[in-house]
Homo-oligomer: A and B are copies of this chain.
Amino acid sequence: MESVVQSPVQPTRVVIVGGGFAGIAAARALVGSRAQVTIIDQHNYHTFLPLLYQVATAGLEPADIAYPIRTIFRRAENFTFRHGRVVGINHERSVVLLASGGEIPFEQLVIASGATAAYFSVPGAEVHARPLYSLADARRLRNHLLLTLEAADARGVLDDTPLNFVVVGGGPTGVEIAGAISELLDISVRRDRLRLHPDLTRIILVDLAPRLLTAFPASAGAYAARILSEKGVEVRLNRSVTQVERDRLLLSDGEILPAAAVIWAAGVTVQGTVAATLGESSTGNGRRRVGRDLRVVGYDNVWAIGDAAAVLSGEDMQLAPQLAPVAIQSGRHCGRQITNLLAGRPTEDFRYRNKGIMATIGRNAAVAKLPNGPVIRGVVGWLAWLTLHLVYLVGFRNRLRVLINWTWRYFDWPSGPRLIVADAETTEQ
A interface list, Cβ under 8 A from B: 42-45, 61-63, 66-68, 70-71, 74, 80, 82-85, 98-100, 102, 135-136, 139-140, 146-147, 150-151, 153-154, 191-194, 395, 397-398, 400-401, 404, 408, 413-425, 427-429
A154: which B residues are within 8 A, CB to CB?
82-84, 100, 102
Known: A74-B192, A397-B413. 18 other contacts (CB 8 A): A43-B419, A44-B420, A61-B61, A66-B419, A67-B415, A70-B194, A83-B420, A84-B154, A84-B429, A85-B428, A98-B429, A100-B428, A100-B429, A395-B415, A397-B416, A400-B404, A401-B401, A422-B423
Q: Is the CB of B193 within 8 A of A70?
A: yes
Q: Is the CB of A99 within 8 A of B192?
A: no
Each complex incorporates copies of this chain amounting to: 2
A-B contact pairs, 24 of them (CB 8 A): A42-B429, A43-B420, A43-B421, A44-B150, A45-B418, A45-B419, A62-B421, A67-B415, A68-B192, A71-B192, A71-B415, A71-B418, A74-B193, A83-B420, A83-B429, A84-B429, A85-B425, A100-B154, A136-B421, A136-B425, A140-B423, A397-B413, A401-B404, A422-B423
Q: Is the CB of A102 within 8 A of B419?
A: no
Q: Is the CB of A71 within 8 A of B150?
A: no
Give complex CA distance A139, B228 in Å: 36
Give complex CA distance A45, B417 in Å: 10
Give complex CA distance A422, B85 in Å: 14
Q: Contacts A61-B63, A398-B415: A421 and B135 contacting too (C-beta < 8 A)?
A: yes
Partner of A419, one of B68, B82, B150, B428: B68
Least Cβ–Cβ distance between A355 and chain B, in angstroms: 27
Q: Is the CB of B414 within 8 A of A85?
A: no
Partner of A418, one of B68, B102, B422, B428: B68
Those 7 A-B pairs whose CB atoms lie nearest each other, nearest first: A83-B150, A84-B429, A100-B429, A63-B417, A423-B423, A70-B192, A61-B63
Give complex CA distance A78, B427 in Å: 25
Select from chain B the residue with minimum beta-carbon distance to A400. Answer: B404
A62: which B residues are within 8 A, CB to CB?
61, 419, 421
A404: which B residues are within 8 A, CB to CB?
397, 400-401
Give complex CA distance A397, B400 in Å: 13
Partner of A74, one of B398, B408, B414: B414
Least Cβ–Cβ distance between A213 and chain B, in angstroms: 30
Least Cβ–Cβ distance between A65 and chain B, in angstroms: 10
Give complex CA distance A424, B61 in Å: 19
Q: Is the CB of B419 within 8 A of A44?
A: yes
Give complex CA distance A149, B316 in Å: 49
A425: which B residues are within 8 A, CB to CB?
42, 85, 136
Q: Is the CB of B415 within 8 A of A397?
A: yes
Give complex CA distance A332, B320 in Å: 63
Least Cβ–Cβ distance between A1 and chain B, in angstroms: 39
Select from chain B the residue with minimum beta-carbon distance to A69. Answer: B192
Q: Contacts A43-B420, A61-B63, A154-B102: A71 and B427 contacting too (C-beta < 8 A)?
A: no
A71: which B residues are within 8 A, CB to CB?
191-192, 414-416, 418
A84: which B residues are within 8 A, CB to CB?
154, 427, 429
Q: Contacts A44-B420, A83-B429, A153-B83: A415 and B70 contacting too (C-beta < 8 A)?
A: no
Give complex CA distance A425, B42 in Å: 9
Least Cβ–Cβ distance between A27 and chain B, in angstroms: 15
Give complex CA distance A397, B403 in Å: 12
Q: Contacts A70-B193, A71-B191, A421-B136: A83 and B427 contacting too (C-beta < 8 A)?
A: yes
Select from chain B the residue with minimum beta-carbon distance to A77. Answer: B193
Q: Contacts A82-B154, A192-B70, A192-B74: A408 and B397 contacting too (C-beta < 8 A)?
A: yes
Give complex CA distance A63, B408 in Å: 14
Give complex CA distance A401, B400 in Å: 10
Give complex CA distance A395, B100 in Å: 43
